[in-house]
Structure 1
């Protein structure tokens, strides 16, 4: 054969090869499609209605999801197309996320994708680790801020590489509005200082906050007690601790707050005095039902305390010394309502620690007279 004929033959064979490749690709696609159909027929999850299969996936989640291919819900995307379709059609699967600092490169892009999958669902977010990268923290917090319903900050490092031990959540950056935020938890490491104004700034941006907890947040510094009080009209529960049942966190921030709807308070009295606690109660006039006091030796004017809390039904006190115990019994004995039965309790996790819990039988007309 001539050179020209050989080249023509090669060109023809190449064309046939390309045609066969296209045919092979089509057969591969057809095979995948049929395989997906077979999987859908055999897979019990895929045969279920979407609302049921979605609920099964939701029940498999951890309380706060971690990003990563080995964790749910990302893991569901790698099982099969049917499961991926269900996961991507279930925004609630993406409504919680746990962010560990320092973040990996490109994490903010991952977060954007995650939030798109959550659509407009209220979010739960947990931040933990070393929060020194302020720009990254701010971007991650305020990007979904309008959707945050539950928010936890966990500072689980004792100090940074430079030996700085204070924690300023924003470093001068103003937080955005948090209109849906209902629960806020801040966890620290004892003796790592927290910058008080940043905490106040955070909670002041959450007008619908219902529950706020501080765990080992001590000490809190640079609070301005003479400035206008931060009013949280919907806060129902405020907890400074507890650690093994006993409140432990710095409760100084109580002097900056007015909480007219508060129903449960756990206060350590480590920094707030008994007089300041009474001032807070007089200022807020809350319908308090549960009160836990971490250091009974600092409590004063018990008759005034009970008089300010006519709806109190549960009273737990630690470190109750003989003088205060005598006063407490005198106040209760002088009450027109029969005093409750009082008994010392041994904490199950701290056998050597004794405290008292009182269940008070209240009526709307109950009053306490000074002893």
Structure 2
């Protein structure tokens, strides 16, 4: 649109270059979005499309998306707390056989429908990457019997801050190709997670766990879960709680044949700058300046000399 405002020459270039019209981001409801969306996407020709839309969708918008469903490769949907003219996306627009990347962004503490999200996943049979950011399903019971199989899904991400997203949906899906998992362990039970891993048997290489994770996990839980992650190379936990760090290292130390491919373990303490500045400064300085004991650093430096990558300290300084 900027090019079209420069001069007539640039306007012609913009109007007749289909690739410039292959993506549109309408993250907030606007008037007559259906007409705008149709006119925009029509100029994209046969190019693969990337669309960001507010939800719930009107029937007019859903009809437009349906016309271009065969070209849609990237879709991002923003949930808005608005029930006017609510349209079930999964029944209005399907199938989406070429969709590769799906992102659903919710409203924190605003309950979404797990059934609707499962139906959206069901129509995206060739999905490779899925993000559910700030999606919350509430605490009521679900009576869903069918397990959804997504054989090509490689990356499942529960958002930039996984502790804010519900991961209960893992109870109802099978992901045999999953390689990267950003998980919150917010409301899924340990046994449900075990069943998901056993059912999927995925070639997981990277797991990042939000700060809600492992709160109630025991040493025995780790011993039961870790053997199902034999392909894991990278493990990261945000704000690990309780005995997790010690238990995890103990399990790895006492089981030399466990997680043979593991190369990186990150236990990250997040500092969130809230409260009066003077109070933050008082408590932050000693935490940042705290260092491990010399006996510990000597042992850790020996491990680094043997090839292990270790970072201990704030992000901008490594004491090892």
| Structure 1 and Structure 2 fold alike (TM over 0.5) | yes
Query: Is structure 2 residue 138 aligned with structure 1 residue 215?
Result: no
- The number of equivalent residue pairs is 272
RMSD over equivalenced CA pairs, Å = 3.3
Gaps of at least 5 residues in structure 1 are: 1-71, 355-359, 362-371
Q: 1:303 aligns with which of 223, 232, 241?
A: 223
1:292 aligns to 2:208 (yes or no): yes
The answer (yes or no) to whether the contact 2:152–2:177 under 8 Å persists in 1 is yes
TM-score (norm 1): 0.64
Aligned twin of 1:281: 197
Alignment of 1:222-301 (within 5 A): 224=142, 226-243=144-161, 246-294=162-210, 295-300=213-218, 301=221
Structure 2 length as normaliser, TM-score?
A: 0.74
Matches within 5 A, 1:38-117: 72=1, 75-105=2-32, 107-117=33-43
Three-state SS of the structure 2 residue aligned to 1:247 is helix
- 1:1-371 to structure 2, matched below 5 A, reads 72=1, 75-105=2-32, 107-128=33-54, 131-132=55-56, 134-155=58-79, 157=80, 159-160=81-82, 170=88, 173-219=91-137, 224=142, 226-243=144-161, 246-294=162-210, 295-300=213-218, 301-336=221-256, 344-347=267-270
- Give the Cα separation in 2 of the matches to 1:89 and 1:333: 63
Hey, which bits of structure 1, 4+ residues long, moved more than 4 A?
Answer: 220-226, 337-344, 348-354
Alpha-carbon offset, residue 208 of structure 1: 1.4
Give secondary structure in 2 for the equivalent of 1:194. coil
Residues 235 and 266 in structure 2, CA contact (< 8 A), matched pair in contact too: no
Mapped contact 2:239–2:268 kept (Cα < 8 A): no
Q: Deviations over 1:33-60 (max 9, x none)?
A: xxxxxxxxxxxxxxxxxxxxxxxxxxxx
CA offsets, 1:144-190, max 9 Å, x none? 211111111112x4x34xxx69x976178443111111111111111
Is the alpha carbon distance of 1:256 and 1:313 closer, same or farther for their aligned partners in structure 2, counting shifts above 3 Å? same
Looking at structure 2, the residues matched to 341 and 210 of structure 1 have their Cα atoms a distance apart, in angstroms, of 24
Give the direction of change, closer, same or farther, for the CA distance of 1:89–1:315 in structure 2 (3 Å limit): same
Indicate conservation of the 8 Å contact 2:78/2:106, yes or no: yes
Instruction: Identify the range of structure 1 (80-89 vs 226-235) with the bigger mean alpha-carbon deviation.
Output: 80-89
* 1:76 CA drift (Å): 2.6
Deviation of 1:141 (Å): 2.7
Q: Distance in 2 between matches of 1:108 and 1:347?
A: 42
Look at both structures and tell me which one has the larger radius of gyration over its CA atoms.
1
Residues 325, 184 of structure 1: alpha-carbon distance in 2 compared, 3 angstrom cutoff: same
**Cα distance change on mapping 1:273 and 1:280 into 2, 3 Å:** same
Structure 2: gaps spanning 5 or more residues: 274-279, 289-306, 309-320
Distance between the aligned counterparts of 1:322 and 1:80, measured in 2?
Answer: 63
CA contact (8 A) 1:99 1:127 kept: yes
Residues in 2 aligned to 1:76 and 1:139: alpha-carbon distance in whole angstroms: 29
Using the alignment, how far apart are the partners of 1:133 and 1:206 within structure 2?
18
1:222–1:136 Cα change, 3 Å: farther
